[in-house]
Amino acid sequence: MNVFVKIISRVPLKHLYRVSDYVLYPLLYHVIRYRRKMTRQNLILSFPEKSLQEIIAIERRYYHFLADLFVEIPWGSGTSPEEMKKHFIVDNMDEIEEWILQKGGLFFMLGHLGNWEWTPEVQRRFTHPEIQHYNICRRQKNKTMNDIMMDIRKHFSGEESCIEKSNIVRHLVTLHQQKKPFTIGLISDQKVQPKHAYYRTEFLHQDTTFLGGGEVLATKFDWGVSYVHIHRVERGVYRLKVQLITLSPKEEQQYSITEQFVRLLEDNIHEQPELWLWSHNRWKWERLQQEESKK
């Protein structure tokens, strides 16, 4: 394990939150002003019904949460399974296992919401010994950051749990041939260049394009698809519920799986808006297209 992650994981979380409150939050929000202009714009356009005062309140809660993430993610990667049970609660493990065993594979579609880096913890909750959890991982440009994130992700579900995006189809063919039950976590709300867009719809009051990986791959191999709903119960405690989208993807209309994912994510964001990644330039390409069309 990376030395930095190892050190952080040994510090009690209550002490790390003091670092979050008195160092990271002021640094991100007041000193560096990390992507504040973008965050404010995203919030205003996503919640046109809210006053500026309400927007700023969400914005401040978001930066507090972002600061918490910076300490929670490395802390969780070195914490014992027994301790993590207090911080990461899964509501419907029996149902999840039933769906997996029925179809052989189940896609976990989720967004950049809550502590998404802790979701591989679900691997340690399976009672069936053969069920394996994988994540689609995108290599970070910075090697040091990439190594840290890989160490963190492998901690929860094993050395072979991270599937590089470029190898996903080959890996899925192998899983299909092995016929061993599994789940795959797939972050599905990234920004999308127009040439890679699979589906376009209104999301948070904005014209938004989405990738179709979950829908396309599930349909190809006839595996189930679900949405991972994340709720923060209190600071450092998350409740996860996997909501089934379909166990019969081949019978679904094209785009319906992706559309269902979008609506479930949108509802999840409205419940606790400060938990989504607002500082991400999610609508970059859509806004560039709008600017071009006005010329």
165, part of any domain? yes
CB atoms within 10 A of CB 207: 13
More confident of the two residues 123 and 238: 238
Least Cα distance to 282 among 211, 179, 228 occurs for 211
Cα distance between residue 183 and residue 64, in whole Å: 32
- Which ranges of the chain would DSSP assign to H, the alpha helix? 3-9, 13-19, 25-26, 36-46, 52-77, 81-87, 93-103, 143-157, 168-178, 213-221, 256-271, 284-294
What local confidence, expressed as pLDDT, does residue 264 receive?
98
68, part of any domain? no
Place of tokens 């994981």: 9
- Whether 110 has a pLDDT exceeding 80, the answer reads yes
Q: What is the mean pLDDT of residues 94-105?
A: 95
Q: What is the mean pLDDT of residues 190-216?
A: 93
Place of tokens 């989405």: 210
- Whether 98 has a pLDDT exceeding 70, the answer reads yes
117, part of any domain? yes
Domain count, the chain: 1
What local confidence, expressed as pLDDT, does residue 137 receive?
74
- Whether 6 has a pLDDT exceeding 80, the answer reads no
Question: Are 210 and 231 spatial neighbours (Cβ–Cβ below 8 Å)?
Answer: no
Q: What is the mean pLDDT of residues 208-221?
A: 94
Confidence band (pLDDT; 50, 70, 90) for 171?
A: confident
Sign for the CA dihedral angle at 16, 17, 23, 27 comes to: positive
CA distances from 121 to 63, 89, 126, 158 (A): 25, 10, 10, 10
Strands in 222-278 per DSSP E = 224-234, 237-246
- How would you label 95-107 residue by residue, b for 16+ Cβ within 10 Å and e otherwise? ebbebbeebbbbb
Contacts of 241 (CB under 8 A, 6+ apart): 90, 91, 92, 228, 229, 231
What local confidence, expressed as pLDDT, does residue 3 receive?
73
Cα distance between residue 113 and residue 223, in whole Å: 24
- Whether 265 has a pLDDT exceeding 60, the answer reads yes
- Provide the whole-model pTM: 0.92
Tell me the pLDDT of the chain averaged across its residues: 90
Domain of residue 177, residue span: 86-294
211, part of any domain? yes
